[in-house]
Chain A
Amino acid sequence: MTSTDPHTLTGAYSMDALPEAERREFERHLARCESCAVEVRELTATAERLALAAAAPPPSQLRRQVLREIAEVRQEPPPVSRTRRLGSRLRPGARALPMFALAASLAAALFGGVAVWQYESAQDARQHAEQREERAETLARVLSAPDARVRSGALPEGGTASVVVSRDADRAAFFAADLPRAPEGKVYQLWFSEGGTMRPAGLLSAAERGATVLMDGPVRDASAMGLTVEPDGGSPQPTSEPLTLLRLTGASGQA
């Protein structure tokens, strides 16, 4: 009944019982769902009570060790917004219009909906912020590359899939308009087709469904890219027929 509702994940999330990928996806949902955020706050406070009940004295040397160590460790500055940097790095007038539109939607998708949740550990937060920023910069580079080429194709249930390839950057970006939500327990997965085999190129989380995403890994000699529906967590090899297969050959500017 409620199994498709991300709300039911509040309990598992509050107890850190979500696998990494699902946790990130839920955090994106959380950033937009006020009632979930309230419930997570209450349930996290409840989990805290479970923690207090498990109290046990630490080894006596721990206090000394910790106090000695923190005297040497620099504290972090309070968090600051990183949204402005990306905008200034997108070169205006770089290429043709579609890429511009894609770049704009990318900036909105990457930064608009993503909030670093309190409960993400600070270390995670640092890493994720750096990874996000790196991906954003790579994606911006692909979209504005002089040799970028767009390929589009219709999806079986309506909507359009597009891929932007830069052979110079050796990376590709994917965008699907009006892609339906993946069935419960399933996820969209991207692939590069190379020499007759499919190489995994990342998952499309629910939140990324309408966004431009950087495909994982280099393009190398891939002749096409595909989109399939896979069981949650993705697959090493496609287990279903691709919804679309976009040819990348001929996209190379100088081959």
Chain B
Amino acid sequence: MRESARAARTAQPGPGLDGLLERVARGDQEAFAAVYDIVAEPLFGLVRGVLRDPAQSEEVAQEVLVEVWRSAPRFRPERGSAMSWVMTLAHRRAVDRVRSAQAASDREHRAALLDQAPAFDDVTEQVEARLEREQVRRCMRTLTEVQRQSITLAYYRGLTYREVAELLTLPLGTVKTRLRDGLIRLRDCLGVSA
């Protein structure tokens, strides 16, 4: 089903992130600076994609990075890679921020979301990120329209599956299922093994 040989070819942004995080967990500030250099670009890109506003994105990115430092001792390698953990912290925090700001549910803003493709920024310097982007784009094209839209709105825009369903006027069950089978298709296309 998955080709583990292909796995992690481009997914590994640096061989030693897990090892670096272990050192961070013991209070090593130098190791943390190295972690910063590996995670800062994807972390910032992700947060800015969800939040849009550059000033807020910077603030949230900083919070997340400090959280990585603070909670490194809680990182459990057997539950996933260090990069997954950091990106999950970042995504969760960005989504919390955008959802609390949107508590009044501004529909106009949400309707505008529909027009936007994932905001891939082409100015990144990192070669890995460029390769990654090409692969993800290619794999996104293998999805059905509904899968692609659902994943884009949920992940890159931080909507809940309920909001996605409302926006795309689809039943809740359909969106749940499309998020799952779309992500499974991406997993297989990208050769992810975890």
Contact = CB atoms under 8 A, between A and B. Distances in A.
A86 B171 CA distance: 43
B67 A123 contact: yes
Contact of B62 (A69, A74, A75): A69
B72 A15 contact: no
A75 B27 contact: yes
Contact of B120 (A8, A46, A53): A53
A73 to B, nearest CB: 6
B161 A76 contact: no
Contact of B95 (A16, A53, A58, A70): A16
B194 A44 contact: yes
Interface stretch (A60-68, A101-109, A218-226): A60-68
Interface in B135-180: 135-137, 151, 154-156, 158-162, 164, 172-173, 175-180
Given A15-B155, A41-B194, A122 B74 contact: yes
Nearest to A37: B79
A243 interface: no
A55 B133 CA distance: 9
A58 B179 contact: no
B18 interface: no
A16 B153 CA distance: 11
B42 A51 contact: yes
A interface residue count range (under 10 / 10 to 19 / 20 to 34 / 35 or more): 35 or more
Interface string A76-102: 111100000000000000000000000
A125 interface: yes
A18 interface: yes
Interface residues on B, range: 35 or more
B70 A18 contact: no
Q: Which among B62, B135, B175 has the greatest number of chain A C-beta atoms within 10 A?
A: B62
A44 B84 contact: yes
A10 B180 contact: yes
Contacts of B11: 45, 48-49, 52
B44 A58 contact: yes
A57 B80 CA distance: 25
A71 B70 CA distance: 11
Given A48-B84, A122-B67, A12 B179 contact: yes
Contact of B187 (A46, A55, A118): A46
A12 B154 contact: yes
Contact of A46 (B129, B137, B190): B190
B16 interface: no
B61 A53 contact: no
Given A17-B164, A50-B156, A56 B179 contact: no
A29 B66 CA distance: 30
B67 A51 contact: no
B129 A17 contact: no
B85 A118 contact: yes
Contact of A17 (B62, B173, B179): B179
9 contacts: A12-B175, A15-B91, A17-B159, A42-B193, A43-B187, A51-B90, A52-B83, A73-B69, A78-B73
Interface of A: 2-3, 8-12, 14-19, 41-59, 62-63, 65-67, 69-71, 73-79, 118-119, 121-125, 185
